[in-house]
Amino acid sequence: LTRTIGRNELSTLQAMHAYVDAQQDYYLQNHRWAHRIISSEGQKDGLYWPTKAGDVPSPLGPNFSPAAPDEGYHGYHFRIISDNDGHGAALLAWPMHYGETGVMSFMVNQDDRIYQADLGKETESKVQAITRFAPDAQWQVAE
């Protein structure tokens, strides 16, 4: 179980960095930040959209796209949240099953500094209250 949690948390950290890279690519093309991870059907309003041979690839690859809604990625849920000043892009990640798929929750903004916190068994309810990137004393920079 400890190895699974460790692998999931490392995969989540990598995904957070990939998110920042994808947001920067999206911003360069669209002059705004994406507010969705997965684009609306038939649209390019998120960081991932399906492509065909010869299409310009989406900023995020298909490996980040869950096969079904609420499936998560390596045991974690992800949600885009507002940046603290409203001029950036931030992402929140938390374990799908606290203590089984992960322990730490993570947040990152466009500056690519990841913060982590152990929100405990109430993680699911606590993350619902997080709507913007504003790490307080509970959140520490992830090493």
At 119-136, the pLDDT tens digits run: 999 999 999 999 999 999
The pLDDT of 82-107, averaged and rounded, is 91
For residue range 96-115, list pLDDT tens digits in order: 999 999 999 999 999 999 99
The sign of the torsion formed by the CA atoms of 143, 8, 72, 56 equals: positive
Q: List the one residue out of 41, 71, 45 whose CA is nearest residue 59.
A: 45
DSSP designation for 42: T
Query: Using an 8 Å Cβ cutoff, are 110 and 20 in contact?
Result: yes
